[in-house]
A and B are shown apart, each in its own frame.
Chain A
Amino acid sequence: MKIIKIILSFLFLSSFVELDSKLKQNRTKKEAVEVNILMPAPFEESTRNLIKKFNNKNDKKIFVRVIRGPMETETVSDLAISNLILNSNQYDAILVDVTWLPKYATAGWLYPLDSLIDKKKWDSLMLGAKKGNSYNKAIYRWPFVADIGLLYWRTDLIKSPPKTPDELIKISKKLQSTNKVKYGYVWQGRQYEGLSCVFLEIIRGFGGNWIDNENNVLLNTTESLEASTWLTSLIKNGISPESVTNFGENESLQIFKSGDSAFMRNWPYAWAELQKDDSKVKGNVAITTMVAKKGITPTATLGSWGFSIIKTSANKEETFKVIEYLTKRTSQIELFKKYGYTPIDRSIYSNKILNKQFPILKFIKSGLEIAYPRPETHVYAQISNVLQRNLSSIITMQKSPKEGMYDAQSDTLNILDSVGGF
């Protein structure tokens, strides 16, 4: 009977908990229009300050509530999708990843922003930041952070970074043979989205492409074969650790941060992490663009986050005001300084004071200029999944590059076939 008493008192307690949270909701709802935005947990963390500021000003006409999603990108998408399928009107806006956009737009979940966007503001964006926001000629997303794949290198080991794939191998081998560093190059080889990003940079660096502008799938070409062979040779030659085939961004960063690698492929966020006190390579890191064969412009895979308004939102204009606030110039600078979030406004890159304070800006700019989006199609998730699977087979030596790329090509075509094209 004692147990029952304990349980009852728990229930009693819990009813207060629920009541309490309901009261809080009601209090804010009364006067202000409530805008609900779903973000992955890290973004909720970084924007908390901005949101607080916004909620305190603005005559309290709009109240923003950020729904903190799970940490992992794909889990956030799962949550968003289940809510959108349910049509439950929970969110006014969602912070979406560049690869989700065509899918969400095709499903008819997003509201086109063209009528809300100020043309002048749109023109002030960096070229790279403009990409990946539209689908079928409508703009569905206002960019928040741009993200690009960059090559990190150690200034204490070499004077200038490698430009071509061959140079990268040569320098790595030299540094490794003189025991200056354990590994030459760490990247993202785990079977997940990061591997597609890595591959896009390399295949274009070898002069090929994943899917070209005319929607031709180009995975079964000499260039793609060269690219995948090159990735495999990194592991075979010990330039990348064998475990790289299970590395995500975090694992690569851990190795590079502890001074065990000469080069790393990662996003701009890593810069801020590498400048922290616990970093062994602090002050000895520089960034550049990914390697590419001589005569070929290097590529930086575009990965970016931006806000999309949900079609069913009742407060689209208010929501857009919030988005404008979170992405305005000063907010961008604040987030860049504090978290290394890549700014999207062109004028920030020409600001002299900022450039002096943050020499990295110049390199990010050059990365943004060559930013290239992954294939913009609503079947992206499928074709990327197929590519990851086959690439993973190649770099773990389960398939030869030739076999793997052939399979990737035919699997992709099969998928396109079953859904009736792009």
Chain B
Amino acid sequence: MKNRTFILVLSFIIVWSIGPLCWQLYTSFSTPDALINPTIEFTKRWTFDNYKLVLSANPPFWRYLVNSLIVGIISTLITLFIAIPASYSLSKANKIISRISNYYLFGAALFPYVLLFLALLEFARRYNLGNNLLALCIPYSALSMPLAILILTSSFRQIPIEIEEAARIEGLNLIQRLRLILVPLMLPSISSTAILIFLFSWNEYPISLTWISNENLLTLPVAISRIAGSSVYSIPYGAFAAATVVGSIPLLLIVLIFQKQIVSGLMQGAVKG
């Protein structure tokens, strides 16, 4: 086909997506001096100092990665655990219920969540939820819930009724049908939903900033914002860049792993559909 156009588009996508990241990578290995003076001599040009600063911090950087992973995974699991049955029932619900639910979910999904932080803060105080990674998963799950249900409901609707009917005739109950037939069929949309939820929780800043103050429990974005030089006036671009790089390595791995899940899930879906 139009191979050249395709390659052109492909390279544009690559450059657009990782160009800014490459600049971050470059920044992370540069001395502060090199950043403002590109013609500097080679020996003063490159440095590992930014990485040393990030990795030698106390508590160690991997702890923030683990914290973010915990919050991300648990929020994703909670959301899916509640959203999958809800979406199933919504896809089967009668017109009135599904109409009302859709207004409800859509309204919630659309609300710019940043504006909720003040009320969430009051909530955290009343129920003493500060400084607890598991508690942080509650707002995260709730915030991702509307979108998750909307996406999953639509893919439940796409599954032909005959498949479920056949399973029902074979004597499978609701839970079995969900677990053995429907969920495997929906793997592609479940995994992309999972990625959305996970990434939201991984990146969330304002709620995490105000709910967590114990250094050992910080999530990655908040922890990175606490990297600093010796003055409140100077921004350590190099160290931020290094932290971004270190912080995105596990993500890269996760997305790569999930990539296979999605692809194989899609294949299955295509064959059976």
Contacts and interface: CB of A to CB of B under 8 A. Distances in A.
Indicate, yes or no, whether A interacts with B: yes
Interface stretch (A70-78, A366-374, A385-393): A70-78
A250 B124 CA distance: 36
- Would you call the interface of chain A mostly helix, strand, loop, or mixed? helix
A11 B32 CA distance: 39
B31 interface: yes
Given A10-B69, A14-B66, A70-B225, A82 B230 contact: no
Given A7-B73, A18-B133, A71-B226, A250 B233 contact: yes
Best-buried of B33, B133, B226 by chain A (most CB within 10 Å): B226
Nearest to A91: B213
B175 interface: no
A42 B53 CA distance: 13
A248 B237 CA distance: 14
A69 interface: yes
B125 A41 contact: no
Contacts of B25: none
A404 B231 CA distance: 32
B39 to A, nearest CB: 11
A85 B121 contact: yes
Interface in A78-96: 78-79, 82-83, 85-88, 90
Contacts of A73: 232
- Most A C-beta atoms less than 10 A away, residue of B37, B70, B213, B215: B213
Do most interface residues of chain B lie in helix, strand or loop, or is the interface mixed? Answer: helix
A267 B225 contact: no
Contacts of B142: none
A41 B235 contact: no
A38 B209 CA distance: 14
Given A75-B209, A278-B44, A70 B222 contact: yes
A267 B233 contact: yes
The size bracket of the interface on B is 35 or more
A253 B32 CA distance: 12
A36 to B, nearest CB: 9
B70 A14 contact: yes
Contact of B77 (A7, A70, A86): A7
A46 interface: yes
B78 interface: no
A254 B234 CA distance: 9
Given A21-B214, A67-B215, A88-B125, A273 B63 contact: no
Nearest to B216: A21
Contact of B36 (A43, A44, A85, A254): A254
Contacts of A250: 233-235
B228 interface: yes
B226 A249 contact: no
Given A41-B226, A72-B232, A83-B213, A11 B70 contact: yes
A257 interface: yes
B216 A17 contact: yes
A92 to B, nearest CB: 13
B227 interface: yes
A40 interface: yes
Given A13-B66, A278-B33, A45 B230 contact: yes
B209 A78 contact: yes
B19 interface: no
A258 B228 CA distance: 21
Interface string B230-247: 111111100000000000
Nearest to B225: A70
A349 interface: no
A41 B233 contact: no
Contact of B234 (A14, A70, A90, A253): A253
Nearest to B62: A17
Given A71-B228, A254-B35, 5 more contacts: A41-B228, A42-B230, A88-B125, A250-B235, A255-B36
Q: Which 3 pairs across A and B sit closest by C-beta, in order of nearness?
A: A249-B233, A41-B228, A278-B33
6 contacts: A18-B133, A71-B235, A257-B36, A258-B36, A258-B37, A272-B230
